[in-house]
Amino acid sequence: MSFDLYLEGLSYFANPIMFIASFLGVLVGIVFGALPGLTATMTIAVFIPFTFGLDPVISFAFLLGLYTGAVYGGSISAILINIPGTPSAIATSLDGYPLCQKGRAGEAIGISTVSSAFGGFFSVLVLCVAAPLIANVALKFSAEEYVGITLIGLSIIAVISPGSIVKGLIGGILGLVLGTVGLDPITGFPRMIFGRAELLDGIDSIPVMIGVYGLAEMFSQISKNDFKTVVSQKLSKVIPSGKDIKRLMPTIFRSSVIGTLIGAIPAAGGSIASLVAYGQEKRFGKRRHLLGTGIIDGVAAPEAANNASTGGALIPMMTLGIPGDPMTAVLMGGLIIQGLRPGPILFQQQMPFVSSIFISLLLSVVFMLVIGLAGARIFSRLITIRKNYLIPAILVFCLVGSYAINNSLFDVGVLIIAGIVGFLLKQVNFSVAPIILGMILGPLFETNLRRSLMLSGGDWSTFVTRPFSLAFLIIVVLVLVGPLLLQLVRKQKTACEDEEDENGGV
């Protein structure tokens, strides 16, 4: 692919609104990410409806800014009060908070910001190089291959869901069922519309996303009945020294590679990337024996990884139409409501738009670095906002956002039902991510499955006679069966060790 194609999106940035949208996105993302309990996924879901009337390139400049800013913002509360603002900042709190207790909170936030920026920049470079190559290969895929790809996305998110594999699969199946509502994609026959014309085009995924992520989280916060104000921390030495950055570069680079690779695995995401990077630092780091006591190495590793996962997660979403994590699942919904379907055709027909995404993501990383370092002291005060002011404001955002999509009270009803269901599912440790992914991937899976069978005359062997399709199906089996096999191997190994101990004792 010619390098000139990467520059096609530059023309969009002659419009100052692009810079303003990216800047505001990062700023709002950091604010929401820093507030405990408000996840990055929820942030994107709540704000997507407000971008509906915007030009797609401006819309995505803002949404990618939200994405980048919210993932980084979670580290602020993790460092200052030991409450990760987002799940991907869990590992950051292990050393970030001890640093804060030592009076080095400013230093921890500074290292977090620089590491996040490097990880984000690295992942953008990988995205720019890898995405077009993968898209070129994916252009050769037929319906059979897309059946395998969608199954991979559904199976992985089922496996990594909290609780059991069964719960994850139940959530995925529920999402698939919701995805079948509306007109049959092949015959046009209405399905499960219950006489409601609003359901002819299916259930809009955006009100559902806002409900299960935004409204459900607010219900959860209210149920905890914890509205206490947290005392703010004083920050100093926010800008890290060149000596510290130089010493940490091997850690930051290694973690950026880990984050990008794990982010590119469908449904893995920043949480896993940050924990793996922290684990590798504990294994290979020069100061691994001090991890957990409050050292900047323990902040740099997870932050580089979780921000590198942002660009990595966009690779499968943009090239194959498979979200890399729940956040990109919501972003994918944002693309779809703009009339754009992620996948290899996007690279073939909308390369200027794809190029603008690369540039917007890079721009958001730059803004994150500048805003993060310049506004650290201000953002540290966000955690003191009382929840009895914050929660009503977010509830209003959810209601207005859902109504604004189609100016429909029906969507508000969908939002409220989704919020109640999402809240109840959280109470029994059900992840809502498989439901959203099922809704998004369901129509793609169904259409390609039925098209494959129609073209093959009902011959199911068509899925195993094509090399790529067979490879994808093998991956699905390994993903679903692999954890069970590993569990059996571990039990057998433990039993053998116990038996050896008993024999040794005798």
Share of the chain above pLDDT 90, in %: 9
pLDDT in the model for residue 24? 93
Residue 329 has pLDDT above 60, yes or no: yes
Q: Which residue has the higher pLDDT, 87 or 350?
A: 350
Residue 170 has pLDDT above 70, yes or no: yes
Q: Alpha-carbon distance 8 to 351, whole Å? A: 7
To the nearest 10 degrees (0 to 180), the angle between helices 433-455 and 326-337 is 60
pLDDT in the model for residue 234? 62
Q: Alpha-carbon distance 287 to 89, whole Å? A: 21
Phi and psi at residue 183, in whole multiples of 5°? -75, 135
CA angle 300, 22, 411 (to 5 degrees): 105
Q: Where do the domains of the chain lie?
A: 15-228+237-465
Q: Alpha-carbon distance 86 to 93, whole Å? A: 11
| Predicted TM-score (pTM) of this structure | 0.72
Q: Alpha-carbon distance 272 to 163, whole Å? A: 16
What are 202-248's pLDDT values in tens digits? Answer: 888 778 877 887 788 788 878 877 655 454 556 667 787 888 888 88
Cβ contact 124:130 at 8 Å: no
Residue 282 vs residues 153, 279, 297, 299, 315: alpha-carbon distances, Å: 30, 5, 10, 12, 28
Residue 403 has pLDDT above 90, yes or no: no
CA atoms within a 13 Å half-sphere pointing along the CA-CB vector of 478: 7
Average pLDDT over residues 22-36: 86
* H helix intervals, 194-295: 205-209, 216-224, 242-263, 269-284
Residue 503 has pLDDT above 70, yes or no: no
Average pLDDT over residues 174-183: 87
What are 2-22's pLDDT values in tens digits? Answer: 556 667 778 888 889 999 999
Burial letters 253-270, b for 16+ CB under 10 A, else e: ebbbbbbbbbbbbbbbbb
What are 126-157's pLDDT values in tens digits? Answer: 888 888 887 777 777 778 888 887 787 677 66
